Amino acid sequence: MLGIETSCDETAVAIVEDGWNVLSNSIFSSVEEHSQTGGIVPEVAARDAAKSILPALDAAFLEVNCTYDDIDAIAVTTGPGLMGSLLVGVETARVMAYIHKKPLVSVCHIAGHICSNRLLRKEAPDFPVLVLTASGGHNELILWRSDYEFECLGHAIDDSAGEAFDKAARMLGLSFPGGPEIARLAHEGYEKAHKFPRPMIHSGDHMFSFSGVKTALLYKMKEMGGLDVLDKSAKADLAAAFQDAITDTLTEKLFFALQKHPEVQEIHLSGGVSANKQLRHKIHERAQKRKIEFHFPEKMEFCTDNAAMIASAGYFKYKTYPDEQWDFTQVQPTLEKGIF
């Protein structure tokens, strides 16, 4: 399966066998340009995708030393994401599917993140799996029932966890993407130096809201005299307390959902924020106590946006619906939110 992913600022192509065996996973990122602007400029991301998509395809085929003759089908992200960037990947996939007469599978980006936990694992998970996906563009709790069958239990009603990390980093004068920057700085700080809110941990549902934690950080910084007067250690304490609030909230909500769904056999963490070591550690500790299996992506490059996860999701969707035509004319980018 050839996978193509251009939903945001990465242009990625992968070739994956049987939904798990990653033969190639090339990622062309525009993160350097976006770290200068402090966030993603959709126009810049789309132009970058247009420039990178053909070199990314060439790189994948070169790495595996194969041609379209060896490809059974093509999978492409059709949403959610930035329309300009999505169009580049979808139009390229449509053209390649037409020229090379291949089935074209439309893949939801969130389903891709969920399937990142199948990469490099030959055995299927023990379904149902409870998945926490936390990224820049989305944040969900999902019941993964079988290969390509998902039920969204809840999602962020405002900022996602990754977005909160990115905005907090910007407030603290750090670069984009903010998650790894906050995590690095937090390492030198004391998380109990400040107490930020853990939003909605007692709401009794599976929704998230992270914009309040970001506002709490803003007020705390104002109270301390603003960014210009803060030294490195003060910033490190703020980053540590902020990270602690976000990771505590995500962990609490995941285990609340687990309590509500005793049929769950495994818990998984995915999306860009799954790269966060403190979050992994907190979930791991609770999972051990609960004696439930816990997985996060096998490699760091599978946490953030990549095309291997799209190829994997595409493979399982293709297998789940054998009677579909997979006609390229049916595949369009979509503005639909959530999982589809």
Using a 10 angstrom Cβ sphere, with 0-12 exposed, 13-18 middle and 19 or more buried, the burial of residue 232 is exposed
Q: Examine residue 273 and tell whether it contacts ligand KG4 (CB under 6 A).
A: yes
Q: Examine residue 249 and tell whether it contacts ligand KG4 (CB under 6 A).
A: no
159, 163, 244, 305: which one binds Zn ion (CB under 5 A) = 305
Q: Examine residue 135 and tell whether it contacts Zn ion (CB under 5 A).
A: yes
Using a 10 angstrom Cβ sphere, with 0-12 exposed, 13-18 middle and 19 or more buried, the burial of residue 32 is exposed
Q: Examine residue 8 and tell whether it contacts ligand KG4 (CB under 6 A).
A: yes
103, 137, 199, 333: which one binds ligand KG4 (CB under 6 A) = 137
Beta carbons within 10 angstroms of residue 18's beta carbon: 12
- Judged by CB, which is closer to ligand KG4: 31, or 66? 31
DSSP string, 216-269: HHHHHHHHTT-GGG--HHHHHHHHHHHHHHHHHHHHHHHHHHHHH-TT--EEEE
CB of 23 to ligand KG4, least distance (A): 22
CB of 121 to ligand KG4, least distance (A): 19
Q: Examine residue 178 and tell whether it contacts ligand KG4 (CB under 6 A).
A: yes
125, 199, 272, 333: which one binds ligand KG4 (CB under 6 A) = 272
Whole-number Cα distances in Å, 280 to 249, 250, 269:
13, 11, 8
Q: Which does 273 bind (CB under 5 to 8 A by kind): Zn ion, ligand KG4, none?
A: ligand KG4
Determine the residue type at 243.
Answer: Q
Which of the stretches 41-49, 54-62, 87-95, 134-142 binds ligand KG4 when contact is defined by CB under 6 A? 134-142
Residue 167: its H or E element: helix 161-171
If you search the block for the tokens 């609030």, which residue do you land on?
245
- Judged by CB, which is closer to ligand KG4: 41, or 66? 41
Q: Examine residue 166 and tell whether it contacts ligand KG4 (CB under 6 A).
A: yes
Q: Examine residue 106 and tell whether it contacts Zn ion (CB under 5 A).
A: no
Determine the residue type at 304.
Answer: T
Catalog residues that contact ligand KG4 under the rule CB under 6 A.
Answer: 8, 135-137, 162, 165-166, 177-180, 183, 271-273, 275-276, 304-305
